[in-house]
């Protein structure tokens, strides 16, 4: 039987990446699929706390078990920025390209360009809370390259595939090494138990 999971996200790219790892035994319903158009609040300064609150807010509204994820890019030469604020780094009208521009500008005079992506998945099931974490280490390049993926993918090169940016990888390739893939694989292992 196909297990249905509600994913507290408005980000279609996250849904697509996670669905392809979960496979056809699981069916993910996004906020859009369940007709929910409000944005969930993310008021905290850690991925863990924001993932938890997004899952709790949706549980409160739907009464159903669900999961959420919060992720971000942590750049060592910028003291961990944009981090938990990755989605809105360049302000209220942030876009992926404005965020990238700001990161590159802030890194101009920095020698250390190492960075990592981190994902925290928070599952609320039968009143219990579970978290699964994934990290992908790499570096930020000076100019964006590639059209695939989303967010900061065009400026991030993972240590595991050092020849290409995340935006030059296929979804399948990104899903072998990414932060989200690592967290999702732990999540799937848990679900299969």
34 in contact with ligand ITT (CB under 6 A): no
115 in contact with ligand ITT (CB under 6 A): no
144 in contact with ligand ITT (CB under 6 A): no
State yes or no: cis peptide before 33, omega within 30 of 0: no
Q: Which residues pair with 124 in a beta bridge?
A: 66, 129
The bridge status of strand 66-75 relative to strand 3-7 is parallel
Q: Which stretch binds ligand ITT (CB under 6 A): 3-11, 55-63, 108-116, 123-131?
A: 3-11
**62 vs 109 by CB, closer to ligand ITT:** 62
100 in contact with ligand ITT (CB under 6 A): no
Site for ligand ITT in 121-140 (CB under 6 A): none
Among 70, 116, 155, 175, binds ligand ITT (CB under 6 A): 70
81 in contact with ligand ITT (CB under 6 A): no
22 in contact with ligand ITT (CB under 6 A): no
Q: Is residue 70 annotated as a catalytic residue, yes or no? A: yes
Give the span between the Cα atoms of 184 and 20, in whole angstroms. 10
Among 6, 18, 21, 73, binds ligand ITT (CB under 6 A): 73
14 in contact with ligand ITT (CB under 6 A): yes
Active site residues: 70
Binding site for ligand ITT (CB under 6 A): 9-11, 14, 42, 70-73, 86-87, 99, 117, 149-153, 166, 178, 180
């Amino acid at each position: 039987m196909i297990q249905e999971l509600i994913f507290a996200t408005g980000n279609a790219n996250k849904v697509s990446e996670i669905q392809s790892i979960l496979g056809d035994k699981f069916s993910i319903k996004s906020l859009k699929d369940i007709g929910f158009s409000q944005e969930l609040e993310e008021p905290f300064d850690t991925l863990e706390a924001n993932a938890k609150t997004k899952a709790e807010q949706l549980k409160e509204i739907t009464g159903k078990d669900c999961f959420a994820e919060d992720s971000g890019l942590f750049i060592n030469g910028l003291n961990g920025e944009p981090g938990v604020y990755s989605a809105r780094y360049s302000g209220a009208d942030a876009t992926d390209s404005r965020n990238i521009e700001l990161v590159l500008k802030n890194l101009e005079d920095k020698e250390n360009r190492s960075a990592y992506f981190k994902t925290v998945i928070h599952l609320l099931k039968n009143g219990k809370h579970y978290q699964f974490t994934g990290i992908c280490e790499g570096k930020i390049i000076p100019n964006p390259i590639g059209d695939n993926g989303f967010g900061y993918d065009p400026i991030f090169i993972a240590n595991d595939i050092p020849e290409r940016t995340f935006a030059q990888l296929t979804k399948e390739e990104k899903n072998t090494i990414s932060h989200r893939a690592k967290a999702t694989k732990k999540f799937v292992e848990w679900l299969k138990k």
